[in-house]
Structure 1
Amino acid sequence: MKWEHALRDYEHYLKLERGLAKNSINNYKWDVEKLINYLSNHQIEDSPVNISKEIVQQFIYEVAKVVNPRSQARIISGLKSFFNYLVFEDYRADNPLDLIEAPKIGRKLPDTLSEEDINKLIENIDLSKPEGERNRAMLETLYGCGLRVSELIGLKLSDLFFDEDFIKVTGKGDKQRFVPISEVNKKYINIYRKEIRVHQNIQKGFEDTLFLNRRGRQLTRAMVFTIVKNLGDKIGLKKNISPHTFRHSFATHLLENGADLRAIQQMLGHESITTTEVYMHVDRTHLAEVLNKFHPRK
């Protein structure tokens, strides 16, 4: 079995069997491609089926010299997944990474914005330009519904169930969930829809896309990142923010104000509660308040 064939089959498995999104699949592929490039550069001709533990260990050793522990752990995890697939399909009897441990890394706490920061960012959007109303509606939706940037740009008009106070969100692996939406958020989306979007020349195929660029097509992830970064620079914000910062802030502020962790998990679309639990570490003062309020021996 050649590497390119194994990688192609693995890609199909990730897409069809595991239902992963394109970005996640690309990340897994890149991990394997790093190993393939290493083998090519060192003129090692071992196939995915017969590559030895020693060669893989040497590759990891070389990787450790040039990348940080978090990236190293990511590559090890990706390669373990690839070789587990080969074992599952009976191409190999063992996983050459079974005895290789990833470096210990602390859980990275997400950056968050204060309510004051968010208000200041939104207040500094230039509403004299047509895209201003769109940008305000987008930032209100990122913060108000806790969306990933890919979920934001993928929103459709047909996903808006304003009478029921929900929007339908398509997340990772095309999994759909319903997220509640506030009156404030609905107000700004409706202003954009009825005063700006209705006058745009919308390109074929994007008639149902909610947030459009000036050419009447779907916005790119990069464009939303640029909008957020420029606003941060405009108000002199010292933090390095991205669209994801609004999602983190959404979860953190809900938790600080007493929301249930399970409810936050459902709204964020996390498969595991463990992923959501990272927000428990963001503000420890909140945990002390919960203990003092609810524990019988206070």
Structure 2
Amino acid sequence: MRDYKDYLEKQKYSRSTIKSYITAKSRFIEWSKRNHTSPESIDYKTFLKYIKYLQQKKNTKKTVKHKIGSLKIHFNYLLSEHYRTDNPIESLTIKGVKRVVNYNTLEADELEDLYYSYETENIKDPYHRLTAKRNKIIVGLLVYQGLNTTELIHLELEDLQLYKGKIYIKSGTRSNGRTLELKPWQVIEFLEYIKEIREEIITRKSIESNRVFIPNNARLGNTIQGIIKKLKKTNHKVKNIHQIRASVITNWLKHYNLRQVQVLAGHRYISSTERYVQDDLESLHEIVNNSHPIN
């Protein structure tokens, strides 16, 4: 059996997070022993007593939420090691913790327009035409797959499954890995890029790399910032890459359920996905929260 620390390391949590989660687990075990239960056997109703205990210790709602979040991970660990058959607090939320207000999001047709409006042809300099085509592929990954800068930087040739029309996004320190569908036109442009454009850019730069996009270091972040500036000229509502990703996730939520969007976005926790639920669902969440026993 893997111990909890090994499990967290495998999930790529940072050292400080692992330390925090192990501390939360240890304190929960101590409380469980005093209350004649255990993490392996506790049920939802009994766990509510632990929350009441945390509240009595004058923890803020934000701190209580954090502690519950870390214990959700511990229950997932027990599930993975077959010490439990369920996570008793998987859907538990705390009323009153302020939601993060998202960006002024773009509609799906506005996102797509950013892609189709990106100029690649009427460019005099041959090399700049090549980099413009590279940049349009990056725009596609922003507006269709909702990738962030880190994911774009770390994308490698082996992650491309172009003949299957898919792309694999590796897990990060705060995200899960996932395989995403590419649009047919993305596949066509990707094939041209890999076979011709990328090779020419590599030759010009005199470098070797397995990364998909060249330059393949922090300079790609500068390239993406330049792309965003151009996108702002197409649509003045464009703010930054975070807003574009928020827009993609928000639009996914109009077509898929929360769990499906959690997978598509690579979110570790369902709560991360819930932050993107549109205002017209806020009243429903409030009804759910008001009926919840934790106040």
TM-score by length of 1: 0.57
Which residue in 1 is equivalent to 2:60?
A: 101
Structure 1 residue 222 corresponds to structure 2 residue 215: no
Query: Following superposition of structure 1 onto structure 2, how do residues 82-231 of structure 1 map, counting pairs within 5 Å?
Result: 99-101=58-60, 105-127=98-120, 128=123, 129=128, 130-173=130-173, 175-200=176-201, 201=203, 204-206=207-209, 208-213=210-215, 217-218=216-217, 220=219, 222-231=221-230
Partners of 1:194 and 1:238 lie apart in 2 by 35
150-159 or 122-131, which moves further after superposition? Answer: 122-131
Task: Output the CA distance in 2 between the equivalents of 1:203 and 1:89.
Answer: 53
Q: Measure the CA separation in 1 of the matches of 2:20 and 2:112.
A: 48
Displacement of 1:211: 0.9
Aligned equivalents of 2:249 and 2:20: distance in 1?
A: 35
SS state at 2:276 partner: helix
SS at match of 1:118: helix
Distance (whole Å) between structure 2 residues aligned to residue 237 and residue 137 of structure 1: 21
- Decide whether aligned partners of structure 1 residues 231 and 252 sit closer, same or farther in structure 2, where only a CA change above 3 A counts: same
Cα distance, 1:271–1:88 mapped onto 2, change above 3 Å: closer
Alignment partners' CA distance in 2, 1:232 and 1:282: 26
How far apart in 2 are the matches of 1:239 and 1:273? 27
TM-fit CA distance, 1:84: 6.8
Gaps of 5+ in 2: 31-53, 63-96, 285-295
Q: Which residue of 2 aligns with 1:263?
A: 260
Q: Distance in 1 between matches of 2:21 and 2:196?
A: 53
Label 1:117 to 1:231 Cα distance change in 2 as closer, same or farther (>3 A).
Answer: farther
State the Cα distance separating 1:245 from its structure 2 match.
Answer: 2.5
SS of residue matched to 1:209: coil
The CA deviation at 1:219 is 5.4
CA contact (8 A) 1:209 1:218 kept: no
What is the CA-CA distance between 1:264 and the residue it aligns to? 1.6
Q: What amino acid does structure 2 have at the position aligned with 1:254?
A: W
1:194 is aligned with what amino acid?
Answer: K
Tell me by how many angstroms 1:209 deviates: 0.8
The answer to whether the Cα contact below 8 Å between 1:150 and 1:221 also exists between their aligned partners in 2 is no
CA contact (8 A) 1:137 1:185 kept: yes
Distance 1:86 1:102, change over 3 A: same
Local SS of the residue matching 2:188: helix
C-alpha distance in structure 2 between counterparts of 1:84 and 1:249, whole Å: 31
Q: d(CA) in 1 for partners of 2:243 and 2:119?
A: 21
Change (3 A) 1:209 1:83: closer
User: 1:20 pairs with 13, 20, 24, which one?
Assistant: 13
Q: Does the aligned pair in 2 maintain the 1:224–1:243 contact within 8 Å? A: no
SS of 1:171's partner is coil
In the aligned structure 1, how far is the partner of 2:206 from the partner of 2:280?
A: 45
Aligned residue in 2 for 1:238: 237
Q: CA deviation at 1:231?
A: 1.8
User: Matched residue pairs, number?
Assistant: 209
Contact 1:133-1:191 within 8 A present in 2 as well = no
Which string of whole-angstrom CA distances, capped at 9 and with x for unpartnered residues, describes residues 190-231 of structure 1?
23223421212255551x111113xxx445463254124312
SS at structure 2 position matched to 1:112: coil
Render the CA deviation track for 1:221-279: whole Å, top value 9, x for unaligned.
Answer: 63254124312432351342x223332222222222x2233222111111222221233
Structure 1: 5+ residue runs without aligned partners? Answer: 1-11, 29-77, 288-298
Q: CA deviation at 1:124?
A: 4.1
Structure-2-length-normalised TM-score? 0.57
Q: CA, structure 1 residues 17+88, in 2 after alignment: closer, same or farther (shift >3 Å)? A: farther
Aligned to 1:272: 269
